[in-house]
Amino acid sequence: MDYTKVKLPTHVAIIVDGNGRWATNQGLNRSAGHKEGFLNLKKLTKYIFNKGVSYISAYLFSTENFKRSKVEVAYIMNLLTDKLNEILEFCHEEKIKAVFSGRVTHMSDKVIKTMEKLTEETKNYEGKTFNICFGYGSHAEIIDATKKIVNDVNNNVLNINEIDESIFNRYLYQELPPIDLLIRTGGEQRLSNFMLWQLSYAELYFTKTYFPDFKEEDFDKAIYEYSSRDRRFGGINYED
């Protein structure tokens, strides 16, 4: 696809879904699906950034996913720590700044240290920001932001009358531009507690394809569709 002829989103978010079903369909255990999803995410991330997108938010583990079996949760947590060197090498090669969104309350010290190392080592890269939503829940994020705001108001760091949309955005886990395009793989048409604030005017794109099978050409299709959408933001495009 000719990327010079399409409207490109600044911030793309992906709900990485369908790993488990992809594996089950192949007669593999669910963990094999997460491993395959990880490999695909790396390839896809490289492709998306190189097409000119500046921000990618990937939903990899939700606050609700702790309800899953101990084995599955441990596998996903270990994936991050086991692949740390590979992820670091990838970020350095591609000059990607990695940031995290989520609550670390139920995470092990090992996982927390991994996140800190990744963030610290890539913090000076500019232009490509990869927001890893891990242990993320949008309700938790909004509550955490509210608590930080109340704290700052109580300590006279923030005046209550100053609070507006852009100030509130600053108190979220990461201060990022709004999401332009949300892609959810795996067939479900819901948000599953993802980025309720940041998605307020995003274009939504749902596909039945399981994430490990969602390739570069599938992303092209999503961009093509996005590019044809008329984003009005409540106004009217009078030239149409």
Task: Reduce the secondary structure of 86-106 to three states and give it as a string.
Answer: HHHHHHHHHCCEEEEECCCCC
Residues near Mg ion (CB under 5 A): 17
Tokens 């500046």 label which residue?
54
Is 61 an interacting residue with respect to ligand IPE (CB under 6 A)?
yes
| Cα 68 to Cα 20: distance, rounded to the nearest angstrom | 12
Is 107 an interacting residue with respect to ligand IPE (CB under 6 A)?
no
Rounded to the nearest whole angstrom, what is the least distance from the CB of residue 56 to ligand IPE in the complex? 14
Closest CA to 58 of 194, 220, 225: 194
C-beta of residue 74 within 8 angstroms of C-beta of residue 108: no
CB neighbours of 118 closer than 8 A, spacing ≥ 6? 84, 87, 88, 91, 98, 100
Q: Map the footprint of ligand IPE across residues 168-187, applying CB under 6 A.
A: 186
Nearer to ligand IPE, 116 or 188 (CB): 188
Active-site residue, 213 included: no
| Catalytic residue (one of 29, 65, 78, 193) | 65
Rounded to the nearest whole angstrom, what is the least distance from the CB of residue 27 to ligand IPE in the complex? 14
- Among Mg ion, ligand IPE, none, the one that 65 touches (CB under a kind-dependent 5 to 8 A) is ligand IPE
Residues forming contacts to ligand IPE in the complex (CB under 6 A) are 15-21, 37, 59-62, 64-65, 76, 186, 188, 190, 192
Q: Which residues are catalytic?
A: 17, 65
